[in-house]
Copies of this chain bind each other. A is one copy, B any other.
Amino acid sequence: MVTQRDLKAEVTREKILEAAAEEIYRVGYQSASLCEMLKRLGISKGALYHHFASKQELGYAVLDDVLAPRAVAAWDAALSAEDPIEGICRLLDEEEQFLAGQRLACGCPINNLAQEMSPLDEGFRQRIERVYRRWHRAVQNALAGAQQRGLLRPEVDANEVAYFVIASLQGAVGLAKNSQDCGIFRSSINGLKKYLHDLKMPAT
Contacts and interface: CB of A to CB of B under 8 A. Distances in A.
Given A30-B30, A106-B119, A132 B178 contact: yes
A107 B167 CA distance: 13
A30 B117 CA distance: 12
Given A164-B188, A172-B167, A177 B115 contact: yes
Number of copies: 2
The winner among A31, A112, A187 for most chain B CB atoms within 10 A is: A187
A180 B117 CA distance: 13
Interface in A86-129: 105-107, 111-112, 114-116, 118-120, 125, 128-129
A171 interface: yes
B178 A167 contact: no
Residue in A118, A120, A165 with the greatest tally of chain B CB atoms within 10 Å: A118
Nearest to A112: B115
A168 interface: yes
A111 to B, nearest CB: 7
A162 B175 CA distance: 12
A180 B115 contact: no
Interface stretch (A1-9, A46-54, A73-81, A190-198): A190-198
B178 A171 contact: no
Q: Main SS of chain A's interface residues?
A: helix
A169 interface: yes
Interface string A149-171: 00000000101110111111111
Interface string A1-36: 000000000000000000000000011101100000
Given A106-B119, A164-B188, A125 B180 contact: yes
A184 interface: yes
A172 to B, nearest CB: 4
Contacts of A177: 114-115, 118-119
Contact of A116 (B28, B165, B169, B184): B28
Contacts of A161: 191
